[in-house]
Amino acid sequence: MKSLIPKFAFALLGILVLAAALLSLGQREAEAHPLASSYSPSGLSAFRELLIQNGLTTEVTRLEVPKLHPNDLVVAPYYQIDSFFSDDRVPSPATKIALKKHLSQGGRILALPYRLDFRASSAEVLKAPVNLRSTTSTLKLEAHLSTVAQSAFSNLFSEFDDEDSPFGNDGATFSLETRNPFPAWKTTDYSGAAIVTLASSEKGILANVTDGIFLTNRFIDRADDAQLGLALIQGLIRPGGRVVFVESTLGESIEPSLVGVIGPWAVGAWMQILVLFGVIVLTLGVRFGLPVTERRTQQGQRELIDAIADVYCRSRSSAIALDAAYVAANQRIRRAYKLPAGIGDRERDHYLPDDLAKLLYSVDRARTPMVEVLKNGRQKVTYPLNSREARELLAKLETKLDECLPVVQNRLS
């Protein structure tokens, strides 16, 4: 029974964690986040997918200075905030200048205002849809819009002095000067309030929506909200243009990357460099990381002697080999006969057989150089034996030592 208690406690803890996760995911969104990449209730991902399914090219950018073309239709969501302490949720001056420049080049902008309190605005919208009619056609739609007043672009385009401009006194202000404004969509009630207003600014067209909540993921599938949003885009976009969602108007801009600054071709160049680097590594066998420790096989003494003999043979230095062989034979003889260290070579020969003593004398003489003085005063060093004769002499000495020394050792033992 005691073993079941920990398992039961862990099971209850897992259920509690799962319930907390479901509650956090299922609760209503408090603040609005009208991002085209957001799948939250206040996001615009469903609206973007609707445009893609209808054959329109869309792009989402968060750059502070978006890269726009004159034929692009900019969808600019922004917050309706009057508080002085909300500067982080308003577009930066650089973004405002970019939008002004887009209008001056003949571009078009669809401004979508949003209240920051998404829960309160959703409660107002859920009461009943608003009946709308188009002023340019007989189309009538129902849309979920709140009762907020029409935006005056207090946050998207605001005035400030020229001295505050990031371009100095020569920079243009952000005061919006529109001409020939007319309502494109009105309510069908007695008030006839304008819901969507079109106005010309510079060479472009600015479309101002009273409230953009009907395009959020929560309300786009209700009533005719999707049809109204699609009608606005299709009526504003130029042939061959893109629908660009500029999210930097929400105060969430980012700096362009190095590849973005250089250009689109840098992406392909970077991929080609990586492929080339991989080909070089595979073809040349270049290894990375710590170097591999090379383990060398220790050679025996026989290989060492053969190598030294080969060097002596190539250099014709038979005298060196004779000298080394004489010293080694002398040591073997003295150890075998247990001779005192003070006796010389002549006294040593008295203990040796005559043939072995003669061989030692021949080796000693062959290793001694003969110096000849030439007519020009230079000295010429020669040796009595050549390489072949030296090898034969050493072979005889080795054979004689093998014959005599074991007999001496057995006799002494």
Max CA separation in the chain (angstroms): 147
pLDDT at 42: 83
pLDDT tens string 294-320: 777 776 777 777 777 777 667 667 777
Q: What is the mean pLDDT of the chain?
A: 76
Quick one: what percent of the chain has pLDDT higher than 90?
A: 2
Separation between Cα atoms, residue 42 and residue 39, nearest integer Å? 8
Cα(115)–Cα(291) distance, integer angstroms: 62
pLDDT in tens, 78-114: 888 654 445 567 788 888 888 888 888 888 899 888 8
Token digits for 160? 């400030």
What's the pLDDT at 151? Answer: 44
The pLDDT score that the predictor gives to residue 167 is 29
Q: 222-274 pLDDT, tens per residue?
A: 888 888 888 889 888 888 889 999 988 888 766 666 656 666 677 778 888 88
Is 93 buried (19+), middle (13-18) or exposed (0-12) by CB count in 10 A?
Answer: middle
H helices of 287-377, in order, are 301-315, 318-337, 345-349, 354-366
Q: CA distances (Å), 263 to each of 16, 229, 245, 260, in order?
A: 51, 33, 20, 5
Residue 148, pLDDT > 60, answer no
Q: List the domains of the chain with CATH numbers.
A: 28-264 (3.40.50), 303-412 (no CATH)
The alpha carbon dihedral of 257, 260, 266, 270 has a sign of: positive
Higher pLDDT residue, 176 or 302?
302
Name the pTM for this structure.
0.54
Distance CA 282, CA 280 (A): 6
Cα 133 from Cα 305, distance rounded (Å): 108
d(CA 227, CA 229): 6
pLDDT tens for 339-396 read 887 888 888 888 888 888 888 888 888 888 777 777 787 877 777 777 788 888 888 8
Burial 27-61 (b: 16+ CB within 10 A, else e): eebeebbbbbebebbbbbbbbbebbeeeebebebb
